[in-house]
Chains A and B, each alone.
Chain A
């Protein structure tokens, strides 16, 4: 089976840095995605990692360690609009339909 773990909830202060972790145990690995989902809205793509290391995109960065089955999403200079759920998803095979989602981490940014 596939198992993806993320913290259920996190709270951070506006202007701070927060790291959201994702660990996975899957039958295969062909890339890891992070999505952002505001309440009542669709998930939107944030980042993609397939090789080990850090991918930076503005205030957001995503890190992957395949040997450890571990990824994190780093959000810098937090803004109130960053309050959302963050979904970690692992592609477990060659097919794009082989995408398993974690349950998501609900981030609340407080003043």
Chain B
């Protein structure tokens, strides 16, 4: 199993350009997440999905859009990149388990995408 993979690993954009980050997981997890990590700050949740076809906003959603057309993929889009979006982006996935059943619902992270916006 590859676990959680992310594409691309590095990217440099100019202000105003758009791009899509791809996250894929092969663990059959229901839940997927996009975080950003900035120096001196904890991981912050951008958007998340609790199942195919569903998405929801996290703590810092502005300037980003997401889609979950297939269970194994979660896409993060930047329509018009800004320097404030320079960051390391991590995707994660988890399995919530059956209702009332034992599950820590641990999140497993991908290797990250390092994005610089000039």
Contacts and interface: CB of A to CB of B under 8 A. Distances in A.
Interface of A: 4, 31, 33, 40-45, 48, 50, 87, 89, 91, 95-97, 99-104
Given A96-B105, A97-B50, A41 B31 contact: no
Contacts of A4: 42
B107 A96 contact: yes
16 contacts: A33-B104, A33-B107, A40-B112, A41-B112, A42-B90, A42-B109, A42-B110, A42-B111, A43-B43, A43-B90, A45-B107, A48-B106, A96-B96, A96-B105, A97-B48, A97-B58
B42 A100 contact: yes
A48 B104 contact: yes
B109 A43 contact: yes
Closest 3 CB pairs of A and B: A101-B42, A42-B109, A96-B105
A104 B42 contact: yes
A99 B107 contact: yes
Interface in B39-61: 40-45, 48, 50, 56, 58
